[in-house]
Chain A
Amino acid sequence: MKLRHARSSRLLAVASLATAAALALSACSSSTEAAEEGEPAAATSVTITDNHGEVEVPVNPETVVALDNHVYQTLSDWDVELAAAPKGLMGTLWPEYRENDDVFDVGTHREPDLEQIVAAQPDLIIGGGRFGGSYDDIKAQNPQAVVIELAPRDGEDLVEELKRMSTALGEIFDHADEAQALNDDLDAAIAGAKEAYNGEDTVMGLITSGGKIAYAAPNDGRSVGPVFPALGLVPAIEQTAEDESHGDEISVEAIAQSNPDWLLVLDRDASFAPENRDASAVPADELIAGSEALQNVTAVQNGQIVYLDANFYLREDIQLYTELFTQLKDALSAS
């Protein structure tokens, strides 16, 4: 496998050199040819604003590399093919990318294999998310490609960020209507959940991993935090996060003392291979609903615990947030 990849990437490198040369030679002529063929008036490129400013992006780029976990579901729904992606961060999702040998594996953000991106010779690279730290490297290594980052920015309203993202993707991949539908669905789900919330119940966000419970702060806590401002939820404990992505260590005592009416739980370990998961990585359900110390908490007594989708940690995309808000609306109106 490794060997095959190495060889194929070397071949590709040679091929890329040849293509580059050929392109350089035929650059002027090909553009005029295209115009002469009388293509319909569809724009060949579109200017979008990404996290770094205005970028001109080709519409429906031929070769796309995506590194941001927020976009896979959208691209998958729109049948966009990928030339390279971080397969290690896809859990058991998107088999068309993960199990496709034509898609180069960029590894994970902890151990990125950025050469695979170069080998894929992309026209467009959607970076950001977990790969945000590699932006400069990627840009330098792929001068021929347009590199954009659309991932939600820190400190911005997540809902707006998600919508901005799908709008941009819609323009690039010529699926503006579908993008609009995604945004409308999200707005509708939020409006529904807002209406179902009584405005008084206290809510606490939790992240579980490796048998331990962590507190996800309102606003900036991983996955769960943005739900608070979107719905105007009352937090059971008002405190800013020290560790935004992994949560702050909290004891069952503190949860019991603050006695939240609702719990929003992200099971971080659930994303990775649930079938052979570690036994001590107690499923969140057992860790919270099964906890002796939490039996008198309103949320546990009334079964008012909302567990996020098992793959939420891997995706965090607009589709899952829409689902989450719908899930919340149903739970809130059922109580």
Chain B
Amino acid sequence: MIAEAGLAALWLGAALCALQLIVATLGVRGEVQLAATVRPVAIGQAALTVFAFGMLIWLFVRVDLSVLLVAENDHSEKPLLYRFAATWGNHEGSMLMWVTILGLAGAAIALFERRLAERTLTATLGGQAAIALGFYAFLLFASNPFARISPAPAEGQGLNPLLQDPGLAFHPPTLYLGYVGLSVAFSFAIGALVTRDVGPAFARAMRPWVLAAWIFLTLGITAGSYWAYYELGWGGWWFWDPVENASLMPWLAATALLHSVTVLATRDGLRAWTVMLAVVAFSMSMIGTFLVRSGILTSVHAFAVDPRRGTFLLALLFLYIGGALALFGARIGTVREGARFNLVSREGALVANNLLLSAVLGIVLVGTLYPLIVEAVTGTKLSVGPPYFNAAAGPLALILVALIGVGPLLRWRRDALMPLLRRVAPAAVLAAVVLVGVKFAAPRMHILPLLGLALAIGAALASVAPLWRRNLLRTPLFVWGMVVAHFGIAVSLAGIACDSSFTVEKLVAARVGETVQVGPYQVHFAGLAPTFGANWQALEATLEARRGAGDALVLKPQARAYWSPPTETSESAIHTALDGQLYTVLGKAAGEGRWQLRLWWKPFVTLIWAGGGLIALGGALALLGRVRRGRRRPQEDWS
């Protein structure tokens, strides 16, 4: 009955969603009485999706094998956490999560949004319902998570072992909150285009929602990167894989949107551009989801791939993105052009930020899809990978980081070059000193990481400069947010530069008893023994790592074999020190009693994710500051 209750809730939710769309449409056309019901309908719809999602979680936790999805992805021997997380470790479950978050986002607007003009709000909730309706249809007609199987199998097929990790409990929900949270910005843009209400008030209303989605997106990408780093066991944290790019593109668009929405809110500029970015950001979420689900690009992260579902998703892309862009084309001409501003000003820097972020977004998009385009036109297969993305996007990213040092030190409206140079000088000098120093210490370092490290350290100093000579207690929270987020970017970049330049890799075929030097560590191969877990058995190496005269650390990398489904994985063992990580992997038997060991010393690699955390924290501070200020002074809002 649980499955049927979930399915019934989904159908009811879809019906309410259709009602929400109708009521909103009539409301925008002038039926004010009807428009008042759109908020409760949105809340009711969200409650139903949450109920349906809860039912699915329950089915997974109870391992109800009469439900096809559970039988295919669950297993009674799995620990509770993975039975729970397996709910979304598959296509149907993750799409239900998508619809649930869409519903929740709509309900959140209905409950909390008080600043937006009522008519625009009605149109926005209509937009949210229009999006959700398509995904309801996708769920109910093409990926029903509650389908039964008869007879029920005696045991489930289990979950892909690579997904049997605490990362699964955290990464997809966070990423989805970000992906789908951007639907709010999309709906806002639709609402504003429908009512032709694009201005500072609209921007101020939209900003917290974009911030919230962006925080989750940042956390989701950071978590995903770390998860892949330790789970896949090759020491890499980013490979410019299509699926990784799919998560990066909405983030780039949302980051640009965050900055352009500030210009619109503060100076009434970049009107059309901000609306465009709001559409693009969620469009990138949908395109990303399509790329992941349809499997049209070869990816290492591909799971739950099904071309038939790809067709449905593609139709949704055409409908929503095409529709929004057509609305943009038809309506944007009637939106008054925004204010113009001086080149040397805060607005000027924010425009430069948008220009560069959009160019990087364009590069990632083109690079990701170029193989497809080439194959369509010429029939030959092509790969576009790290060498292209690093060379094409790297320099622009570095200019962006330099801009972090300059932009916040510029005044709004108009500034002059000479005083700006004085303000930027300390950071520039620091960066130059680091550049020369590192070049001297590591003469063979490549140019991009070298510049990256110097810029990171300069930008780290410059990013805290806006706090200089300010009363720190009276500094608004959103200024703190900006400072922390920018500092986080610098921290991440420093980690990236150090990892790419100073990582030491050691591959050895070692016998038990041998000792290997990697970076500052002496790693002693102390033993090898079988071990087992709830649904796997493994061979576990015992490695004793010593640094100088200190005590030995014990690391136990495993080569695991799962039996449901039968898969072999390697579990890396990582020791985190203050100045880096020792990363160890147990590989194959190399004959004559030797075992392949892969050892890395990765100096300051943790800064990459620490920076990601700081960026999200900065977003959270800014969000808190905006929400509090919004409550107090809804009218004036000078950043």
Q: Do these two chains interact?
A: no
Mark A residues whose CB is within 8 Å of B: none
Mark B residues whose CB is within 8 Å of A: none
